Amino acid sequence: MLSKSAAKKFFLIGTVLCSGCFVVLTIDTIQRVPHQTRSENITPEVIHGKDLWDHNNCMGCHTIMGEGAYYAPELTKVYTRRGEPFIRAMLKDPQAMFPGQRKMQKYNFTEEEIDALVAFLKWIGEVDLNGFPAKPDLAPVNPEPVSAAELAHPAIYDQVCVACHSLKGKGGAVGPALDGVGNRFEQNYFVSWLKDPVAVKADSKMPKLPLTDEQILELANFLSQLK
């Protein structure tokens, strides 16, 4: 049993030590902020994107850095997960990307505003959040062997195409499944289709995606091998 003076001394020493630890940890955290936030990448365009994010109340539906609503997808790592072409297409016309399904309204952003939002989401995705959000473990318990075509998925396919199309039962259901599509069409057809779907089929519901010529050729080669 401590005496009154000993208890007082214990309290004072403990308070000083804990306060010291708190100060040291606070200083360490503040020193880490510029590096972890990649502050050197905060350009005027990124700031404009943040202003657009706030002005349009994007957080009313989406979550970013753990804060926001859960009505729509979490967007902290969306740039890495989906890529720039998908983000641009969604911001330009959400309904065209998911006809009859997406409830995100069309904000009629200008190209400059879309550039700013993409820059903002890219910066957010590069911020070091100590492992947040965790990558989901989607691997099956007993994975089945996959074909060479499955192993050679172009990055742009996993970012954009999989949102609407399925392959081997994995992917979206907005557009037709792509199993065996290489038996029905040749590579040149895929090139024309990916450049402008409506030019090939007037009533196509597939939007014209912001793909580079290199991405189009990569996808056309991949799709032509799905036999």
pLDDT at 153: 82
CB 97 within 8 A of CB 104: no
- Region 142-154: mean pLDDT is 56
Q: Does 102 have pLDDT greater than 90? A: no
Q: Does 200 have pLDDT greater than 70? A: yes
Q: Does 145 have pLDDT greater than 60? A: no
In this structure, the dihedral spanned by the alpha carbons of residues 94, 176, 194 and 203, taken in order and rounded to 10 degrees, is: -70
* Same domain as 201, residue 163: yes
- Region 71-90: mean pLDDT is 90
Predicted TM-score (pTM) of the model is: 0.68
For the chain, what is the domain count?
2
| CATH value at residue 119 | 1.10.760.10
> Is 158 or 150 the better-scoring residue by pLDDT?
158
* Same domain as 66, residue 112: yes
Per-residue pLDDT tens for 156-175?
A: 888 889 888 998 888 888 88
Residue 159 lies in a domain: yes
Per-residue pLDDT tens for 28-70?
A: 888 887 888 888 999 999 999 999 999 999 999 999 998 998 8
pLDDT at 147: 54
Q: What's the domain range around 118?
A: 39-126
Residue 143 lies in a domain: no
Q: Phi-psi category of 125—alpha, beta or left, where left has phi over 0 and alpha has psi -120 to 50?
A: alpha
pLDDT at 142: 46
As a whole-number percent, the residues of the chain with pLDDT over 70 amount to 91
As a whole-number percent, the residues of the chain with pLDDT over 90 amount to 38
Confidence of residue 1 (pLDDT cuts 50, 70, 90): low
Element (H, E) at 55: helix 44-55
Residue 213 lies in a domain: yes
Final residue before a domain boundary, out of 126, 161, 191 = 126
Per-residue pLDDT tens for 91-100?
A: 998 888 877 7
Per-residue pLDDT tens for 14-39?
A: 899 999 999 988 888 888 878 888 88
- Region 6-12: mean pLDDT is 84
Residue 111 lies in a domain: yes
Residue 79 lies in a domain: yes
Nearest of 34, 13, 94 to residue 61 by alpha carbon: 94
Residue 133 lies in a domain: no
Average pLDDT taken over every residue of the chain:
86
Element (H, E) at 142: none
- Region 178-200: mean pLDDT is 91
Measured CA to CA, the distance from residue 34 to residue 158 in angstroms comes to 32
Final residue before a domain boundary, out of 75, 93, 126 = 126
Please name the residues in contact with 41: beta carbons below 8 A apart, sequence gap of 6 or more.
123, 126
Confidence of residue 103 (pLDDT cuts 50, 70, 90): confident
Q: Which residue bears the tokens 């905060």?
A: 42
Residue 160 lies in a domain: yes
